[in-house]
A and B are shown apart, each in its own frame.
Chain A
Amino acid sequence: MAYTEEEIRHWLEEVKDPEIPVLSLNDLGVITGISVLENGKVKVEMTPTFVGCPAIDYMKSDVKEVLAKHGVEEVEVRVSFDTQWNSNMISEKGRQALKDFGLAPPPKHNLIVELDILEEVECPNCGSHNTDLKTPFGPTLCRSIHHCFDCKETFEQFKPI
């Protein structure tokens, strides 16, 4: 049985980032290539958000598991840096999902991240920009910690990178 790339991508919607379970790998932007070979074998190309991201091995086996559930038996998942992930690759749907989850989405950038874009991040709780960066390191490699002066909440941001 042959599959189309669209089908594979659709099924991969079920695979979520284990550290941010509202975000699919598609929306996170870490699926960098899908190819269906003539013999029916499926090849999925992935790249990690951070080089040291411990979630990549989980994501890799989740991809295989979900595709197997849909009857795709032969799956090869290749993790490489052929395409280097950056936070602009998070989809609009993904950015909204982050916000709903209580994590500020990363601001879009021109691939040169300067400290000033980490200041005055929009608070995901009340929408205020009257906020302050507390530390560029958080509970996972991809998050920074901020404080909102208006609603007084401390919140996290998915770091622009």
Chain B
Amino acid sequence: MILKRSASYSLLFLASFLSLFPLFWTISTSIKDRVDSYSLPPKFFTFTPTLKNYTSLFSLEKFWQIYSNSIIITLGSTLICLAVGSLAAYALARKPKFRGRTPLEGLMIAIRALPAIVLLLPIYKLSSYLDLYDSKLGLILIFAGFNIPFAIWLMMSFFEQIPVEIEESARVDGASTFKMFTRIILPLAAPGLVATGIFVSLLSWNEFLIPVIMAGENSKTLPVLVASFISNRTLDWGPMAAAATVALIPIVLLTVVIQRWLVAGLSSGAVKE
């Protein structure tokens, strides 16, 4: 015990307040009218809530298109990450040494280590040849590529928890590798797959630099829309806060669901070999 109990609690309460206040402030600004959001001293609770900011946000031309882009790209890239990543994670978890393991892990780590801009410059140039600029499919593939390493690291830790003996007995009963993987391993790792899926979809949902470079009018995502609010000189905080809230709420809901696995996800790739 470094601190007295009361000091520990004060610190925890202070840190919790600081952690949650910006979230509270965004949400509360999103349901204030203009006068209330600009009033000083700030109105924390004493205001009449309004949905005006949301109606003006939702009536924005293209809002629903952008929102559905975000959902499609997030879901598409997450499914690819799970399908592609689970196979690799299984191999990496079960076989300590095979040809190509070291370079594969090197590439995975390169994604974690390098600033994305370094890779996105050439990707931008290449995508014009492949006609993947401003296409949802293009974004799905790029998002998936950037997130696969995280999916693999996370799933590896789940596969490692499944005893090898289970596979051995299945193999004795004559199951093929593929059958064993789909019928035995995946069902056993199902909670882990769900957690990985949610974690990876958070990464995609939050991603900004990739769509800012790779998306035009057709494939814009929510973070790009949220960011576009600051470029207008007339700063109107209400709709802006509403847009931020629309981006943040799904995250808050999802993280409550995966609370148990979150810690593993957030530190994945940091100390793994």
A, B from the same assembly = no
